[in-house]
Amino acid sequence: MPANFPARTFAALVAVAALASAGTVASAQKPEALWYMTDNEASVQSFLAHADQISIASPQVFSMDSLGVIWGGVDARVVAKARSAGVKLIPLVVNPGFDQSSIHRVLTLPDVRARAIRNLADLCREQKFDGIQFDFENINIADRDAFSSFARASADALHHVGCSLSAAVVPRTSDFPGPTQFHRWIFENWRGAYDYAALASSLDFISFMTYAQHTGGTTPGPVAGFVWMENALRFLLSLGVPAQKISLGIPSYSDWWYPTFDVRPGVGERMVGGDISYATARGILARHAVQPIWDERQKSSYAFWEDDGVNEFLFLEDARSFVAKMSLVSKYKLRGYSVWVLGTEDPATWSALGGAR
């Protein structure tokens, strides 16, 4: 925004616009609100401040290695606040670094698979969590059935000890691998490994990660364009996945692309993108005296400007964008929404969402 535009006034205008576009968001029955966390202090502080508006807290703090061994821990302040505020605590378990070979061993080697399932159930029971959510990514499509089978067996084990099991899954809009080498690569290694219908039949719900449409590895574009989000959701529903088992992914972070120089031979100058918080995004826009432009079709704002003759691009996720994308939850009568990630959001989002859950 321009340097002379008061930040407080802008935030108030955004909140009003968001509330107006939301219509009955505050008055209707509230959907289940899952917010992801990291061990970043900003993430923890945001949870402590807004726990009364959160149904499920999902810290990304546990890792499972290639032997099925799990390590990690939840911040004691988060545990205490969740329990005092009645917030369900469902931490993520990830394959560290989203390593493909590691998760392949867990899914396909019988002794490792059995150890992993046993450790998941022990973790949830001993820590008195409400459930566990898988965040297993970069799974090769050849392990698709193995992942579905692992999820089913894990769900049985966790249900036996009184815990839920869900999974965060990478979205796709069809089963077509795509027209280019890039599309085929991302389908075979990131999108295609999830048999959504099979997973939904055994899991309590799935968090459909409808964000990261564009990343640092792609051309500049929306973090989660509304059209892409809805197309992916329609595809998921067309497979027979019940709406009440779908938690829609919504981003709270923004993305900024800028030129850099890669010293590797033959690479040289290129554009890179990175995830940034709303506060950081606002600072960048203010520094360059740029006002973002609202894209009504994609339900997000964008800006670009010259820095010493080279364009930079920023796609902003703010309260207005958040509430617009929330409309898909009510339109399709979904279970709720899953937000990545606490600590990066526009502060006006909380007032736009209304009071306590």
Kindly list the domain boundaries of the chain, sorted by start residue: 24-253+320-353
> For 310-319, how does the pLDDT look when each residue is reduced to its tens digit (9 = 90+)?
999 999 999 9
Least trusted range by pLDDT, from 25-29, 110-114, 166-170, 298-302: 25-29
Arithmetic mean of pLDDT, 29-58: 97
Q: Is the peptide bond before 341 cis (omega within 30 degrees of 0)?
A: yes
Mean of the per-residue pLDDT values of the chain: 92
Q: Which residue has the tokens 């590797």?
A: 264
Please name the amino acid found at residue 330: S
Each residue of 139-165: b (16+ CB within 10 Å) or e? Answer: bbeebbebbbbbbbbbbebbeeeebbb
What torsion, rounded to 10 degrees, do the Cα atoms 327, 330, 335, 341 define? 20
Fold of the CATH domain 24-253+320-353: TIM Barrel (3.20.20)
> For 183-199, how does the pLDDT look when each residue is reduced to its tens digit (9 = 90+)?
999 999 999 999 999 99
* pLDDT score at 263: 60
C-alpha 310/C-alpha 288 separation (Å) is: 13
Residue 312 φ/ψ, nearest 5 degrees: -120, 155
Query: Residue 201: is it exposed, middle or buried by C-beta count within 10 angstroms (0-12/13-18/19+)?
Result: middle
DSSP per-residue codes, 125-169: HHHT-SEEEEE--S--GGGHHHHHHHHHHHHHHHHHTT-EEEEEE
Which of 247, 44, 31 is closest to 133 using CA atoms?
247
Better-predicted residue by pLDDT, 22 or 60: 60
* pLDDT score at 23: 43
C-alpha 84/C-alpha 250 separation (Å) is: 26
Which of 103, 33, 102 is closest to 350 using CA atoms?
33
